[in-house]
Amino acid sequence: MRDRLILLPGWGLGTAPLQPLAEALRGLDPRLQVQVEPLPLLVSSDPVDWLDELDANLPEDAWLGGWSLGGMLAAELAARRGERCSGLLTLASNLRFVAEPSWSAAMPAETFKVFRQGCAADASATLKRFSLLCAQGAADARGLSRQLLGAAPQPQSATLLAVLDLLANLDTRTSLQTFAGPQLHLFAGADALVPASAAQALLELLPDVEVGLIDNASHAFALERPHEIAAAIQAFLHEAGDD
Protein backbone atom coordinates (compact mmCIF):
# COMPACT_ATOMS: atom_id res chain seq x y z
CA MET A 1 0.00 0.00 0.00
CA ARG A 2 2.77 2.41 -0.89
CA ASP A 3 0.09 4.54 -2.55
CA ARG A 4 -1.62 5.16 0.81
CA LEU A 5 -0.89 8.04 3.19
CA ILE A 6 -2.26 8.11 6.73
CA LEU A 7 -2.38 11.57 8.35
CA LEU A 8 -2.86 12.05 12.10
CA PRO A 9 -4.14 15.36 13.54
CA GLY A 10 -2.80 17.46 16.39
CA TRP A 11 -4.08 18.26 19.85
CA GLY A 12 -7.63 19.34 20.50
CA LEU A 13 -8.81 20.48 17.07
CA GLY A 14 -9.89 17.21 15.45
CA THR A 15 -9.36 16.10 11.86
CA ALA A 16 -10.83 19.15 10.06
CA PRO A 17 -7.54 21.11 9.85
CA LEU A 18 -6.03 18.35 7.67
CA GLN A 19 -8.97 17.77 5.31
CA PRO A 20 -8.08 20.55 2.79
CA LEU A 21 -4.55 19.16 2.57
CA ALA A 22 -5.91 15.67 1.95
CA GLU A 23 -8.14 17.01 -0.82
CA ALA A 24 -5.25 18.91 -2.38
CA LEU A 25 -3.08 15.77 -2.36
CA ARG A 26 -5.84 13.73 -4.00
CA GLY A 27 -6.18 16.42 -6.63
CA LEU A 28 -2.48 16.21 -7.46
CA ASP A 29 -2.51 12.42 -7.67
CA PRO A 30 -5.85 10.56 -7.78
CA ARG A 31 -3.97 7.28 -7.23
CA LEU A 32 -2.82 8.38 -3.80
CA GLN A 33 -5.19 7.21 -1.07
CA VAL A 34 -5.10 9.82 1.69
CA GLN A 35 -6.78 9.04 5.01
CA VAL A 36 -7.07 11.54 7.84
CA GLU A 37 -7.47 9.38 10.93
CA PRO A 38 -8.72 10.75 14.26
CA LEU A 39 -6.54 10.26 17.29
CA PRO A 40 -7.58 7.45 19.64
CA LEU A 41 -9.93 8.36 22.47
CA LEU A 42 -7.54 7.48 25.28
CA VAL A 43 -7.07 9.04 28.70
CA SER A 44 -3.56 7.62 29.01
CA SER A 45 -0.45 9.77 28.75
CA ASP A 46 1.81 6.74 28.16
CA PRO A 47 3.16 6.78 24.57
CA VAL A 48 3.20 2.96 24.51
CA ASP A 49 -0.58 2.81 24.99
CA TRP A 50 -1.07 5.22 22.10
CA LEU A 51 1.30 3.35 19.81
CA ASP A 52 -0.34 0.03 20.63
CA GLU A 53 -3.74 1.48 19.72
CA LEU A 54 -2.52 3.10 16.51
CA ASP A 55 -0.52 0.05 15.43
CA ALA A 56 -3.53 -2.19 15.89
CA ASN A 57 -5.90 0.02 13.90
CA LEU A 58 -3.91 1.69 11.09
CA PRO A 59 -3.08 -0.09 7.82
CA GLU A 60 0.46 -1.36 7.44
CA ASP A 61 2.84 -0.66 4.54
CA ALA A 62 1.47 2.86 4.18
CA TRP A 63 3.13 6.25 4.46
CA LEU A 64 2.62 7.68 7.95
CA GLY A 65 2.33 11.38 8.59
CA GLY A 66 0.75 13.97 10.80
CA TRP A 67 0.48 17.51 12.04
CA SER A 68 2.13 18.58 15.30
CA LEU A 69 1.33 15.88 17.89
CA GLY A 70 0.10 13.65 15.05
CA GLY A 71 3.48 13.88 13.35
CA MET A 72 5.25 12.94 16.56
CA LEU A 73 3.04 9.87 16.95
CA ALA A 74 3.59 9.00 13.28
CA ALA A 75 7.36 9.17 13.84
CA GLU A 76 7.15 6.82 16.81
CA LEU A 77 4.93 4.39 14.90
CA ALA A 78 7.19 4.51 11.83
CA ALA A 79 10.16 3.50 13.98
CA ARG A 80 8.15 0.68 15.55
CA ARG A 81 7.00 -0.63 12.18
CA GLY A 82 10.32 -0.24 10.37
CA GLU A 83 10.06 -1.84 6.92
CA ARG A 84 6.28 -2.09 7.38
CA CYS A 85 6.13 1.70 6.98
CA SER A 86 6.69 3.18 3.50
CA GLY A 87 7.92 6.55 4.76
CA LEU A 88 7.29 9.41 7.15
CA LEU A 89 5.95 12.96 6.74
CA THR A 90 5.67 15.44 9.60
CA LEU A 91 4.08 18.90 9.55
CA ALA A 92 5.01 21.46 12.20
CA SER A 93 6.06 18.60 14.48
CA ASN A 94 8.89 19.13 16.91
CA LEU A 95 11.10 16.30 18.14
CA ARG A 96 10.27 17.39 21.67
CA PHE A 97 7.38 19.77 22.21
CA VAL A 98 8.64 20.91 25.62
CA ALA A 99 12.20 22.18 25.91
CA GLU A 100 14.88 20.53 28.01
CA PRO A 101 18.63 21.22 28.27
CA SER A 102 19.45 18.83 25.40
CA TRP A 103 16.70 20.24 23.14
CA SER A 104 16.17 23.98 23.48
CA ALA A 105 14.29 24.53 20.19
CA ALA A 106 10.91 23.95 21.81
CA MET A 107 8.29 25.50 24.08
CA PRO A 108 9.73 26.57 27.46
CA ALA A 109 8.69 24.18 30.22
CA GLU A 110 7.15 26.99 32.31
CA THR A 111 5.02 28.14 29.36
CA PHE A 112 3.74 24.61 28.88
CA LYS A 113 3.00 24.29 32.61
CA VAL A 114 0.90 27.46 32.58
CA PHE A 115 -0.93 26.29 29.44
CA ARG A 116 -1.75 22.95 31.10
CA GLN A 117 -3.00 24.70 34.22
CA GLY A 118 -5.25 26.83 32.05
CA CYS A 119 -6.65 23.72 30.35
CA ALA A 120 -7.41 22.14 33.73
CA ALA A 121 -9.24 25.30 34.83
CA ASP A 122 -11.17 26.03 31.60
CA ALA A 123 -10.79 23.68 28.66
CA SER A 124 -12.97 25.74 26.29
CA ALA A 125 -11.07 28.98 26.91
CA THR A 126 -7.76 27.15 26.52
CA LEU A 127 -8.84 25.63 23.23
CA LYS A 128 -9.79 29.09 21.98
CA ARG A 129 -6.37 30.40 23.02
CA PHE A 130 -4.74 27.43 21.34
CA SER A 131 -6.53 28.12 18.05
CA LEU A 132 -5.21 31.69 18.19
CA LEU A 133 -1.66 30.42 18.76
CA CYS A 134 -2.00 27.96 15.89
CA ALA A 135 -3.08 30.78 13.56
CA GLN A 136 -0.51 33.35 14.75
CA GLY A 137 1.75 34.31 11.88
CA ALA A 138 -0.85 33.61 9.18
CA ALA A 139 -1.89 36.26 6.66
CA ASP A 140 -5.43 36.15 8.10
CA ALA A 141 -4.78 34.93 11.63
CA ARG A 142 -8.24 35.78 13.00
CA GLY A 143 -10.05 34.09 10.14
CA LEU A 144 -7.85 31.00 10.39
CA SER A 145 -8.38 30.83 14.16
CA ARG A 146 -12.16 30.98 13.73
CA GLN A 147 -11.96 28.23 11.13
CA LEU A 148 -9.90 26.01 13.44
CA LEU A 149 -12.15 26.56 16.45
CA GLY A 150 -15.41 26.29 14.53
CA ALA A 151 -14.64 22.76 13.37
CA ALA A 152 -13.12 21.54 16.65
CA PRO A 153 -14.87 18.80 18.63
CA GLN A 154 -16.46 19.64 21.97
CA PRO A 155 -13.59 19.79 24.47
CA GLN A 156 -13.40 17.10 27.16
CA SER A 157 -11.08 18.30 29.90
CA ALA A 158 -9.83 14.88 31.05
CA THR A 159 -8.99 13.79 27.51
CA LEU A 160 -7.32 17.09 26.61
CA LEU A 161 -5.17 16.97 29.76
CA ALA A 162 -4.12 13.37 29.14
CA VAL A 163 -3.10 14.23 25.59
CA LEU A 164 -1.18 17.28 26.80
CA ASP A 165 0.73 15.02 29.17
CA LEU A 166 1.37 12.63 26.29
CA LEU A 167 2.71 15.57 24.28
CA ALA A 168 5.06 16.47 27.11
CA ASN A 169 6.27 12.86 27.35
CA LEU A 170 7.06 12.33 23.67
CA ASP A 171 10.64 12.59 22.42
CA THR A 172 11.04 11.37 18.84
CA ARG A 173 14.80 11.83 18.46
CA THR A 174 15.66 8.15 18.87
CA SER A 175 12.79 7.04 16.63
CA LEU A 176 13.78 9.40 13.81
CA GLN A 177 17.35 8.14 14.02
CA THR A 178 16.12 4.54 14.02
CA PHE A 179 13.68 4.74 11.11
CA ALA A 180 15.55 3.98 7.89
CA GLY A 181 12.77 4.88 5.43
CA PRO A 182 12.38 8.21 3.61
CA GLN A 183 11.51 11.19 5.80
CA LEU A 184 10.15 14.66 5.07
CA HIS A 185 9.78 17.20 7.87
CA LEU A 186 8.12 20.54 7.10
CA PHE A 187 8.23 23.46 9.51
CA ALA A 188 6.53 26.88 9.49
CA GLY A 189 8.63 30.02 9.58
CA ALA A 190 6.21 32.04 11.77
CA ASP A 191 5.10 29.16 14.01
CA ALA A 192 4.15 30.35 17.53
CA LEU A 193 4.22 26.82 19.01
CA VAL A 194 7.15 25.04 17.32
CA PRO A 195 10.08 27.43 16.80
CA ALA A 196 11.49 27.58 13.29
CA SER A 197 14.89 26.82 14.82
CA ALA A 198 13.69 23.24 15.30
CA ALA A 199 14.21 22.71 11.55
CA GLN A 200 17.93 23.45 11.82
CA ALA A 201 18.21 21.42 15.02
CA LEU A 202 16.66 18.44 13.22
CA LEU A 203 19.06 18.82 10.30
CA GLU A 204 22.00 18.84 12.68
CA LEU A 205 20.72 15.63 14.25
CA LEU A 206 19.79 13.94 10.96
CA PRO A 207 21.58 15.60 8.02
CA ASP A 208 20.37 13.00 5.51
CA VAL A 209 16.61 13.59 5.81
CA GLU A 210 14.53 16.13 3.90
CA VAL A 211 13.66 19.22 5.94
CA GLY A 212 11.72 22.21 4.62
CA LEU A 213 10.80 25.60 6.10
CA ILE A 214 7.72 27.38 4.78
CA ASP A 215 8.30 31.11 5.21
CA ASN A 216 5.65 33.41 6.70
CA ALA A 217 3.43 30.48 7.67
CA SER A 218 1.63 29.65 10.92
CA HIS A 219 1.55 26.44 12.94
CA ALA A 220 -1.69 25.65 11.12
CA PHE A 221 -0.01 25.93 7.72
CA ALA A 222 -1.61 22.69 6.51
CA LEU A 223 -4.96 24.48 6.66
CA GLU A 224 -3.61 27.94 5.83
CA ARG A 225 -1.73 26.89 2.66
CA PRO A 226 -2.83 23.36 1.77
CA HIS A 227 -1.91 23.48 -1.92
CA GLU A 228 1.63 24.63 -1.22
CA ILE A 229 2.12 21.92 1.41
CA ALA A 230 0.56 19.31 -0.88
CA ALA A 231 2.94 20.27 -3.70
CA ALA A 232 5.95 19.84 -1.39
CA ILE A 233 4.70 16.44 -0.24
CA GLN A 234 3.93 15.31 -3.79
CA ALA A 235 7.41 16.32 -4.95
CA PHE A 236 8.92 14.33 -2.10
CA LEU A 237 6.81 11.25 -2.85
CA HIS A 238 7.92 11.48 -6.45
CA GLU A 239 11.58 11.68 -5.43
CA ALA A 240 11.10 8.69 -3.16
CA GLY A 241 9.88 6.66 -6.11
CA ASP A 242 6.27 6.41 -5.07
CA ASP A 243 4.74 8.51 -7.82
Predicted structure pTM score: 0.96
Euclidean distance between CA atoms 45 and 144, whole angstroms: 29
Euclidean distance between CA atoms 3 and 210, whole angstroms: 20
Question: In which band, very low, low, confident or very high, does the pLDDT at 243 lie, cut at 50, 70 and 90?
Answer: very low
In this predicted structure, what is the pLDDT of residue 73? 98
In this predicted structure, what is the pLDDT of residue 240? 86
Contact 130, 93 (CB under 8 A): no
Asked if residue 35 has pLDDT above 90, the reply is yes
Which amino acid makes up residue 214? I
Question: In which band, very low, low, confident or very high, does the pLDDT at 1 lie, cut at 50, 70 and 90?
Answer: very low
3-state SS track over 133-174:
HHHCCCCCHHHHHHHHHHCCCCCCHHHHHHHHHHHHHCCCHH
Euclidean distance between CA atoms 139 and 48, whole angstroms: 38
Neighbour count for residue 223 (Cβ, 10 Å): 24
In this predicted structure, what is the pLDDT of residue 220? 98
Asked if residue 239 has pLDDT above 90, the reply is no
Q: State phi, psi for 107 to the nearest 5 degrees.
A: -70, 130
**136-190: pLDDT as tens digits:** 999 999 999 999 999 999 878 899 999 999 999 999 999 999 999 999 999 999 9
Of 29, 191, 218, 242, catalytic: 191
In this predicted structure, what is the pLDDT of residue 51? 97
218 belongs to the catalytic site:
no
In this predicted structure, what is the pLDDT of residue 172? 98
**12-30: pLDDT as tens digits:** 999 999 999 999 999 999 9
Of 68, 86, 93, 175, catalytic: 68
In this predicted structure, what is the pLDDT of residue 154? 87
In this predicted structure, what is the pLDDT of residue 156? 85
Please name each of the domains of the chain with its CATH number.
4-239 (3.40.50.1820)
Query: In sequence order, which residues have a C-beta less than 8 Å from that of residue 34 and are 6 or more positions away?
Result: 4, 5, 7, 22, 25, 26
227 belongs to the catalytic site:
no
Contact 222, 211 (CB under 8 A): no
68 belongs to the catalytic site:
yes
Which region holds residue 111: left if phi is over 0, alpha if psi is between -120 and 50, else beta? Answer: alpha
Of 29, 86, 93, 219, catalytic: 219
Question: In which band, very low, low, confident or very high, does the pLDDT at 72 lie, cut at 50, 70 and 90?
Answer: very high
Euclidean distance between CA atoms 187 and 184, whole angstroms: 10
In this predicted structure, what is the pLDDT of residue 238? 87
Average pLDDT of the chain to the nearest whole number: 95
Average pLDDT over residues 227-233: 97
